Structure 1
Amino acid sequence: MLLTPTAPTAPHGHEGPGDRYSTALTWAFNLSGHPALNLPAGFGADGCPAGLQLVAPHGGEALLLSVAEAADPVAVARVRP
C-alpha cells in the first residue's frame, strides 16, 4: 500500500482550477491502472478539505477496501457493493 496526499494544493473554487489545478499525485495511478481511492483527511489551515490517497498493487482491490474501511468505515460503506 502507498499512502499520499490526494493533491499537493488546496482545492480550487467554483471559478475553475486556474493555476491551482494539480493531478501531480494521481495521474500516474490512473495511467498504470493501480487501484486507488481518496479518503477524507480533515481540513487544512484555510478550512478547505484535505484528502488522503490510498494506492494498492494491481489486483489489490480487496486489500485497498479493507485498509480504507479500517481508516474510515463510513466512507467505505458508501462504495462497497
Structure 2
Amino acid sequence: PTAPHGHEGPGDRYSTSLTWAFNLSGHPALSLPAGFGSDGCPAGLQLAAPHGREGLLLAVAREAEARTGG
C-alpha cells in the first residue's frame, strides 16, 4: 500500500494497481475501512465478487463489519 495522493493530483504516487481491473471488468467491488497504517493514514479492505453476485458481496461486507465492530 501507498499513502493517498493529495488534492494536487496523483503525481508520482498514483496507485490504482488494485482498483482499475474491477472498473474495467464490471465486477461488483467495494471498500471497507480497515484501520490505520503505522503512518496514521486510513487503510481499506477491498472486496470483489463475480458478476451478478452483489448479494454475496454485501453479505461478506456485512459479516466483515460485524466482526470488526465496523
TM > 0.5: yes
The ranges of structure 1 where at least 4 consecutive aligned residues each deviate by more than 2 angstroms after the TM superposition are 13-16
Runs of 5+ unmatched residues, structure 1? 1-7, 76-81
Matches of 1:72 and 1:51 in 2, distance apart?
Answer: 12
- After TM superposition, give the deviation of residue 11 of structure 1 in Å: 1.1
Deviations 1:15-63 (A, max 9, x none): 3221111111010111001000000011111100011100000001000
Which structure exhibits the higher relative contact order, with contacts defined as CA atoms closer than 8 Å and separated by 6 or more residues? 1
TM-score by length of 1: 0.75
> Is the Cα contact below 8 Å between 1:35 and 1:55 reproduced in 2?
yes
Matching residue's letter, 1:14 = H
Task: State the distance in 1 between where 2:34 and 2:28 align.
Answer: 19
TM-score when scaled to structure 2? Answer: 0.86
- 2:55 is equivalent to residue 62 of structure 1: yes
**In the comparison of the two structures, how many residue pairs are matched?**
68
Q: Percent identity?
A: 81
